[in-house]
Structure 1
């Protein structure tokens, strides 16, 4: 391969030539005589985190395979590696397929490729370890880019992120890995460049008044801290540490973590599973980097991070997968599905656990161990990990003192991002909604092109079928018929809702109610939707479904990706239906249906109380990742689906629906439940939705307006759930509109006295009825609880 040294500053060229003649201390290995100061410690720690340092066995099969893959990306027999295809001296850039002209993303791509080369050069067991020719080209490429494309005087264009986060994120790693291989003048030049791009990690350079938040802020703080170690400047490191302060503060609007477990980015988009993952990943790296230094973070801030794990992350995980309802536009990225996102969040929490008190550390490590053990999607426990990650996971799995902790069951509400997660043994059920506070979906940068209904009440059922939302789901699912949604069959613009009633309530953190009022401005379709979640069943109700124009209006009960050739057995009222793709049928008088799962425990039962007209079809659907994300492959993918829906007619006026999901139920169990249901639908009107689960003693109601049902009366729009069992009555109330100041609730129950209450509750009376006034001012949809017990006789 012919390479030419580029034109560059003569002083830089001379310095590069000098450094190429002298071997230096291998990256990640302390110089003779020990580490000189905190800056060296931090730099060497960072280098070791990238290469594994000397803390691994190079003969380990997983590690050896990783190193081989790394080297093959750099140079390959077919001359297709990034080193093979690099050309020094080309005015448009070092790689012909990534010209640095109108798109600064290609500048970031340049530094990412140089990072790969620097990793292969610096990793001890790599066949390219300390290759003189590779070292020469890395140094020459860095010098050319500094002189021609990325320096303190560069005029920026395009997306700010590439200049201030994308490129310097990769560049900082290259500078650390090649620290002893580069002339000081070149390193100093890049340090000045980072100062120009990120003068303050808490602010967006060049955009007046924009304050960085969340993942972007932590990204910049990490870059600044590594820059400080390279420059041997504590001021820059302190600047990075100080910027973290606002990350640990809970938000009450806009971006950040909320006390209810929500995580929001881009002002109004639920993003726990995307930007939240990046934030924790970078935060763990930064906390680890600062640990043991004068700038270490600890105490209350580490307590906060532990709280994030408990409230924001493990609650939206399903057997180690990060649920798609909190991944925003990232669902459209072919190389980063929900299982991969789950894997990505596990490593940083493994790092963070080492900094926590013993009991909390053991809890997190136990949960992570359980997820690693139960994962049935990856071929190997180390898939997707770098060397450092493999080392950490190997230690965890080998530690017999850490017992696996199974999935934490419960009902988890996130009213600040309009999401709900209901976890029971064997399944997890998620709901993604939107309101005037939260966006229905985000579409930007050519991503998430078919996310139209992903926030419109889409429901997610996670069970033993761990491949349901991976393996080509998003490119092939019928995007206008997502499960749980009521649709007019039209694509939707990205935006918030004119409706405010979105939320619910929870009894004891175990059972819950959720609801959403919706209105689509294009077709005028509006209505109210509710879900009531108990032990083994979810009851879905809809009412007031009305359209102002003729069209096609449906509520989608199911749109499930099938196994293999799509031959999962499907029965209606006990009668087996054809398994061939292309079958469809409009059916009347449907009492129940059953779909066989793809794995043990993944069957699903569907019950239609009182009978319903239900349509069903099997089909083979073909799509590509390019269809949902313009950076995706155009290669066609075909998957098989079963879809169930309720047709509301060409122009409904007050239409309704009701169905019950039975996750994990066999066909026999579904038929039995249909004949002897455990739930009673108490109301399904424009005023109130209400359900009673008899065995549990739970009654739940969503009041769209003031009204009464069973023993509950609400004086204002609200969600109320009550459980009466073993001489105790627990009631929880919320204001889903998040606009009211108080809600009054009357419970027509006698013989109870107060045991405990939240501070927001005023008990007006306990006889002859229980009367409550609940202060919901600024409660942000919180479920506010009161407990009564039977009075002594």
Structure 2
């Protein structure tokens, strides 16, 4: 009997100790939230628009600021949110021991009056994001900082508003929230739970976040480490950027508490950062096609990534050096060596090719995914983004704030009809899906090629790109459509432009040079378009919440005009990045690159310097290899990388996915046959 009593007593004592420890852990998390607030590390953008003294002195007696339109219904940049951004900054000033306003009673009363004004009749945004996510997270930061000064009425009513998107069984965002929206809503819930000492609420937050940190084929981190949000569109540098920051922040908050995340969850974010987002960036540049609507916002925010990397350096010590290198590159430290390699993000139809002196990304759209979206008045002209568009980056400044003045029908890499008037809207991605399944790439981690059976707005073509060390080759064939134009580049004008034989009757390559990039163009009977001019536009033309002030920039634009009625047209061009004009003048394309085939069924290129053939088979076919009378037959559509290494062929091929690898010794009787390919040597 005594043993039973002792056991029950021990069990009760253990539960009491565990409960006390959990309470201590909640206090530890609250303290960390407080510190994040003091560091201005808000889950949502919180920069203020006025000096401190102006904000302090301009609030009226009712608790509002006269310069804020509290009836505003703007969707993306909702003006009343500035009320909480200002209260947050004032709260920081009130708590900061180094501030001249530290513990200032007048400032304290100003903050409380501002809180009270909002709680009487909270303004409602037309965009639910502000009501359920944006304002609640700002409120949560303010409430954590000012908790000791809040009376019960302010505290309870505030917590009620902070928890707007928290339902008994799920987080609500136009239905059950997923991805970054869920992590934002959980953040608001965490503020509320800590403020009310709701241990079960805190448990629910970390459990829900843990469930969302996973590899998935729904919304969230994809198996290739791209990121889906709002359906099947790559948002790795939009919502996915915030997802990384939120997840890493949760790791920091829960570290060494009862809510600590497992190593497996931390590994998911580690892979996403280092194998996904890191490859979609170069120094200060972030991949434009992975931003979604955010490309129409003036300032690209790298803070979520740098914040995440700092937290991960502290949490995930084994990968400290990799995080630090990525952080240094994002911060623009050129002494940090860039990535070198080729990555194919097969879930998002994206290929990224990085070399020491340049970054090149190609984005296409199959019938499996969406190219992007407009919405909330943002990205009004972005309908063609992601349809064979690419970006060539050396310094990271080639496209700085070019978006208001861009001709959005001549995006770099775009093949499309040239019409006037407004752009089609593709609200939340509707109508931005591709039309064909054969949109695939293949990569051996250093080189790659990409095939695109293109079909958009009655323009069709077979298109392929081939990625080498010093060249990117683009072949196009079977082009049909009205008023079709192929954009080769459209970037900020930087320095003089040099040309040779442009639009001459010479059937060979015609050459252009600009900003340390050479272009060898074979228009095959079509005209080359070259323009250097000042272009004018406004941010408001692409984002209804932005400024209507006129902006002008000098722009370099190069392309191929295929005329008013393209009928089985074709062309090829090669981009030679990171080269001087003197070097380019001496460059002879055929010394390095030979086009083996460019037709409706097969496009193939031989790079002599590395002895590699890359081929895209739109249907079954055979390519004659440049070594020892060898041919490779693909028995169905697919892609192949064939490299001669000493006395063997190293072959990566896909039909079209996943990639398979074989190696064949070159001898007099070479033959390889399976159900997919045949490799034979002619007798």
* TM surpasses 0.5: yes
SS in 2 for 1:422: strand
- How many angstroms does 1:620 deviate by? 0.7
| Counterpart Cα distance in 2 of 1:434 and 1:269 | 9
Q: When the two structures are superposed, what TM-score results if normalisation uses the length of structure 1?
A: 0.75
- Name the CA shift for 1:312/1:683 in 2 (closer, same or farther; >3 Å): same
Cross-structure match for 1:771 = 673
Contact 2:233 2:369 in 1 (8 A): yes
| Counterpart Cα distance in 2 of 1:767 and 1:86 | 88
Cross-structure match for 1:606 = 519
- How many angstroms does 1:232 deviate by? 1.3
Instruction: Work out whether 1:186 is the aligned partner of 2:159.
Output: no
- Name the CA shift for 1:103/1:506 in 2 (closer, same or farther; >3 Å): closer
- Name the CA shift for 1:185/1:314 in 2 (closer, same or farther; >3 Å): same
Give the stretch that moved more between structures: 242-251 or 671-680: 671-680
- How many angstroms does 1:767 deviate by? 7.1
| Counterpart Cα distance in 2 of 1:103 and 1:327 | 21
Contact 2:215 2:222 in 1 (8 A): yes
Cross-structure match for 1:46 = 33
Cross-structure match for 1:174 = 142
Tell me which of 670, 691, 714 is aligned to 2:605. 691
Cross-structure match for 1:276 = 240
Instruction: Work out whether 1:528 is the aligned partner of 2:499.
Output: no
Contact 1:280 1:348 in 2 (8 A): yes
| Counterpart Cα distance in 1 of 2:489 and 2:48 | 45
Mapping 1:469-618, distance limit 5 Å: 469-470=399-400, 472-490=401-419, 491-494=423-426, 495-507=432-444, 509-521=445-457, 524-547=458-481, 551-563=482-494, 568-573=495-500, 587-589=504-506, 591-597=509-515, 603-609=516-522, 613-618=527-532
Cross-structure match for 1:239 = 204
Mapping 1:261-660, distance limit 5 Å: 261-334=225-298, 336-337=299-300, 340-341=301-302, 343-357=303-317, 359-372=318-331, 374=333, 405-464=336-395, 466-470=396-400, 472-490=401-419, 491-494=423-426, 495-507=432-444, 509-521=445-457, 524-547=458-481, 551-563=482-494, 568-573=495-500, 587-589=504-506, 591-597=509-515, 603-609=516-522, 613-660=527-574
Cross-structure match for 1:124 = 97
Contact 1:593 1:670 in 2 (8 A): no
| Counterpart Cα distance in 2 of 1:362 and 1:572 | 44
Cross-structure match for 2:55 = 82
String of CA shifts for 1:252-294, please: whole Å, max 9, x gaps: 2x31111212111111221111111111122222221111221
Cross-structure match for 1:57 = none
Q: When the two structures are superposed, what TM-score results if normalisation uses the length of structure 2?
A: 0.86
- Name the CA shift for 1:677/1:122 in 2 (closer, same or farther; >3 Å): farther
Instruction: Please give the root-mean-square deviation of Cα atoms over the aligned residues, in Å.
Output: 3.0
String of CA shifts for 1:547-590, please: whole Å, max 9, x gaps: 2xxx4211111212113xxxx222222x8xxxxxxxxx855537
Cross-structure match for 1:382 = none
- How many angstroms does 1:328 deviate by? 1.2
| Counterpart Cα distance in 2 of 1:322 and 1:247 | 24
SS in 1 for 2:106: helix
Contact 2:284 2:332 in 1 (8 A): no
List alignment gaps of at least 5 residues for structure 1.
1-34, 54-68, 151-155, 376-403, 576-584, 598-602, 753-765, 776-785, 789-793
List alignment gaps of at least 5 residues for structure 2.
1-21, 41-45, 427-431, 625-630
- How many angstroms does 1:74 deviate by? 4.8
- Name the CA shift for 1:481/1:101 in 2 (closer, same or farther; >3 Å): closer
Contact 2:452 2:464 in 1 (8 A): yes
| Counterpart Cα distance in 2 of 1:125 and 1:475 | 41
SS in 2 for 1:197: coil
String of CA shifts for 1:331-387, please: whole Å, max 9, x gaps: 1101x22xx43x441221111121113x31122113323443526xxxxxxxxxxxx
- How many angstroms does 1:158 deviate by? 3.0
Instruction: Work out whether 1:227 is the aligned partner of 2:192.
Output: yes
Contact 1:533 1:539 in 2 (8 A): yes
| Counterpart Cα distance in 2 of 1:481 and 1:773 | 42
Tell me which of 64, 70, 75 is aligned to 1:99. 70
- How many angstroms does 1:72 deviate by? 8.3
- Name the CA shift for 1:727/1:229 in 2 (closer, same or farther; >3 Å): farther
SS in 1 for 2:605: strand
| Counterpart Cα distance in 2 of 1:643 and 1:356 | 45
Contact 2:497 2:513 in 1 (8 A): yes
- Name the CA shift for 1:52/1:610 in 2 (closer, same or farther; >3 Å): closer
| Counterpart Cα distance in 2 of 1:629 and 1:486 | 24
